[in-house]
Chain A
Amino acid sequence: MPDPAANSEDDIRQIDSRTFVIDQEDIDTDQIIPARFLTTTSRDGLGKLAFHDWRYDGEGKPLEAVSLNSLDTAECRVLVAGRNFGCGSSREHAPWALHDFGFRAVISSEFADIFRSNSARNGLLPIMAPEAAHNWLLANPGVSIRIDLASQHVDLGNGPSFDFEIEPFAKHCLMEGTDPLGFLMSHSDAIDAYEADIA
């Protein structure tokens, strides 16, 4: 189980970063990581496969013209993408790949449900921006921004800064570095009682 906040490298309570923009709507999880790479039994090392078919040619050689291939993810940890990011397959390999690639947040105007919950659990903040801020971010690639999880605020500097929503429990887990599985297991008495009732 990921424990992002407990690991300082992955601390996403405050992110200062430039943005990387992919101005395309409906980016599905087959684009984020193609299905033929899903035969892995591990969750590590998937970053090299992120957006694979956009980044490599038919022989698997990196395409120089594709800026994702020269991106410095130490500086650029925030992906800005068009509406309805992460639609399609429920594969958690998608946030695993994006996280391993180096992203710590994705900003869009809308996310697919499963992708959103998968991301928040894997140290990748899914941030829904209001339309004006989203359009501004799409139009101004590479700007420096600050994401503050505690105050749920994104500071866009000269742009239209905004507050974002995050499910309170997901936020709690990210802030404290705690794990939803522990919370679930702490309810085993209630689960026992429910099972006794339906038996």
Chain B
Amino acid sequence: MSPETERADKTPRSLFDKVWEAHQVRAETTETPGLLYIDLHLVHEVTSPQAFSVLDERGLTVRRPDRTLATIDHSTPTLDFAAGEGPPYATAAAQSQVERLQDNAAKHGITLHGWGSGHRGVVHVIGPELGATQPGMTIVCGDSHTATHGAFGALAFGIGTTEVGHVLASQCLLQRKPKSMRVTVDGETAPGISAKDIILAVIAELGVDGGTGCVIEYAGGAIEALDMEGRMTVCNMSIEAGARAGMIAPDATTFAWLEGREHCPHGADWDQAVAEWQTLRSDPGARFDREVMIDAATIRPMVTWGTAPDTGIAVNSPIPEPRSASQRKALAYMGLEAGKPVAGARVDQVFIGSCTNSRITDLREAAAIMSGRRVADGIRALVVPGSVAVRAQAEAEGLDRIFIDAGAEWRQPGCSMCIAMNGDRGEPGQLVVSTSNRNFEGRQGPGVRTILASPATAAAAAIAGHVIEPAELMEPAHA
């Protein structure tokens, strides 16, 4: 399927167009969607059991176990347990869900990074970490944050459980081509501004449904300047603007990050792969259904004030007057006041983790703030690395000591308080500053109030006991 040799049509194409076209098994018609071939199918315990059941009912097999990769992350405890003891699951249901995936993986010959694997972790952390995520691929998972993998120039999106069954059985999805949008974050960000601040600013600009029906390509100087972890943070949250997927054109940063990883090609195959990947960028003049420009220089450390991810504002900016009944309800739920900044809000818990911000650079960012300081009295701070490998790397760098000495809890990898289905959660009414991606009512436990922020801002909140710009902490300690 080398599109370069087959294309007579010289219409400029976007990165998304190129990846889409290269995976068409059958084009869509008025009556029927097209068949899109899926290069990599990531599977976790929560959205897969019913799909495997359908396979069993129909007597179907997994078409490409070699293109399917599984892990356990959502229901798994993050507490330590002794060798010889079973994991301390929060519920019997959680345990049986994990065991169901273990059985299904064994039965269908699927590689599972389960207990004991050096690469167990949050599904969107381990795919890239293993080099299974590569430029130009189509990647799906029964999980809306699959867009994370778009940071490598892959077309990656979340699917429902019925579709998980479709991909298991046929390695294809029935799809109509989504619309396209380009978000250009132009210029340079101020020092101390992280990828999380950028994406919270982008979502605030687009709104929670601004990207509905679209695949977003992120471009511009501030995006190109990000490391791969930062690019993953940006693409990760595309769904919070309603978009199916987010993509960033692969470049030297991408190739350097991937080289030598387990699933990547090696030697001459690597050189050939890079040569192909270099063609994966939007042609000059490529058409997008919508273009949005954001000036990077205006972005400040961000926090959310509401119960939807598009309510990001600068930490010290006043909360805007609510524009709708839903926003009034959100403010009341959060216990915050219009006209005042979020800064100063008393915090009960801090969560540093999730597929948005649990990679090594995120942990370094949080550790830089916590180093030599103590978590404020009465605050519980949870640091949950994204994978076994991230945890090992952090320990090799001594970051675990920084967190533990500061009084934070250093946990085993998993989704943890991002989704609060493994027993890690807040208590009703508590205010949690979280590096995760969703501040919906009750997301981190019934009645819990969530403020989304970067690792630096979350760590600063843990130290100060209230929401604060991380720079305010940095100055006295390092002046």
Cα distance A114–B172 in the bound complex, in angstroms: 17
Q: Is the CB of A88 within 8 A of B144?
A: yes
Q: Is the CB of A34 within 8 A of B162?
A: no
Q: Is the CB of A121 within 8 A of B160?
A: yes
Contact A118/B160 with A26-B326, A84-B209 known, Cβ cut-off 8 Å: yes
A9 contacts B by Cβ under 8 Å: no
Is chain B's interface secondary structure helix, strand, loop, or mixed overall? loop
Contact with B along A106-119 (1 / 0, CB 8 A): 00001011100110
In the assembled complex, the CB of A193 is this many whole angstroms from the nearest CB of chain B, namely 8
B212 contacts A by Cβ under 8 Å: yes
Q: Is the CB of A187 within 8 A of B172?
A: yes
B298 contacts A by Cβ under 8 Å: no
Q: Is the CB of A187 within 8 A of B166?
A: no
Cα distance A2–B54 in the bound complex, in angstroms: 10
A185 contacts B by Cβ under 8 Å: yes
Interface residues of B in 1-52 (CB under 8 A from A): 1, 25-26, 30-33, 35, 37, 46-47, 49-50
**B420: which of A36, A92, A185, A194 is its contact (CB, 8 Å)?**
A36
B336 contacts A by Cβ under 8 Å: no
User: Hey, which chain A residues are within 8 Å of B74, CB to CB?
Assistant: 38
Closest to B101 in A: A41
Q: Is the CB of B26 within 8 A of A187?
A: yes
Q: Is the CB of A90 within 8 A of B160?
A: yes
Interface residues of B in 80-109 (CB under 8 A from A): 91, 93-94, 96-97, 100
Q: Is the CB of A191 within 8 A of B174?
A: no
User: Hey, which chain A residues are within 8 Å of B160, CB to CB?
Assistant: 90-92, 114, 117-118, 121
User: Hey, which chain A residues are within 8 Å of B91, CB to CB?
Assistant: 39
A132 contacts B by Cβ under 8 Å: no
Q: Is the CB of B442 within 8 A of A53?
A: yes
Contact A172/B50 with A34-B446, A167-B176 known, Cβ cut-off 8 Å: no
B151 contacts A by Cβ under 8 Å: no
The residue in A1, A25, A82, A89 that gathers the most chain B C-beta atoms within 10 A of its C-beta is A89
Interface residues of A in 14-51 (CB under 8 A from B): 23-26, 28, 30-31, 34-36, 38-43
Cα distance A82–B421 in the bound complex, in angstroms: 27
Cα distance A184–B144 in the bound complex, in angstroms: 23
A137 contacts B by Cβ under 8 Å: no
Cα distance A184–B163 in the bound complex, in angstroms: 11
A157 contacts B by Cβ under 8 Å: no
Q: Is the CB of A181 within 8 A of B165?
A: yes
Closest to A83 in B: B209
Q: Is the CB of B32 within 8 A of A169?
A: yes
Q: Is the CB of A36 within 8 A of B421?
A: yes
A7 contacts B by Cβ under 8 Å: no
Q: Is the CB of B174 within 8 A of A53?
A: no
Interface residues of A in 152-196 (CB under 8 A from B): 167-169, 172, 180-181, 183-185, 187-188, 190-191, 194-195
Q: Is the CB of A113 within 8 A of B244?
A: yes
Cα distance A30–B420 in the bound complex, in angstroms: 11
Cα distance A139–B25 in the bound complex, in angstroms: 46
Q: Is the CB of A113 within 8 A of B242?
A: yes
The residue in B49, B144, B171 that gathers the most chain A C-beta atoms within 10 A of its C-beta is B144
Cα distance A92–B50 in the bound complex, in angstroms: 10
User: Hey, which chain A residues are within 8 Å of B49, CB to CB?
Assistant: 41-42
16 A-B pairs besides A25-B326, A190-B35 with CB distance below 8 A are A1-B54, A24-B325, A26-B308, A30-B441, A36-B421, A41-B53, A41-B93, A42-B50, A43-B161, A87-B208, A87-B209, A90-B144, A185-B170, A188-B170, A191-B37, A191-B171
9 cross-chain pairs, A with B, having the tightest CB-CB distances, nearest first: A41-B49, A39-B93, A118-B160, A92-B160, A90-B144, A90-B158, A92-B161, A84-B209, A25-B326
5 A–B contact pairs at CB < 8 A?
A31-B441, A41-B49, A41-B53, A90-B144, A191-B35
Which residues from chain B sit less than 8 Å from chain A, CB to CB? Answer: 1, 25-26, 30-33, 35, 37, 46-47, 49-50, 53-54, 58, 60, 63, 74-75, 91, 93-94, 96-97, 100, 142-144, 158-163, 165-166, 169-172, 174, 176, 178, 208-209, 212-213, 239, 242, 244, 308, 324-326, 329, 419-421, 425, 428, 438, 440-443, 446
Which residues from chain A sit less than 8 Å from chain B, CB to CB? Answer: 1-2, 23-26, 28, 30-31, 34-36, 38-43, 53, 58, 82-84, 87-92, 110, 112-114, 117-118, 121-122, 167-169, 172, 180-181, 183-185, 187-188, 190-191, 194-195, 197-198
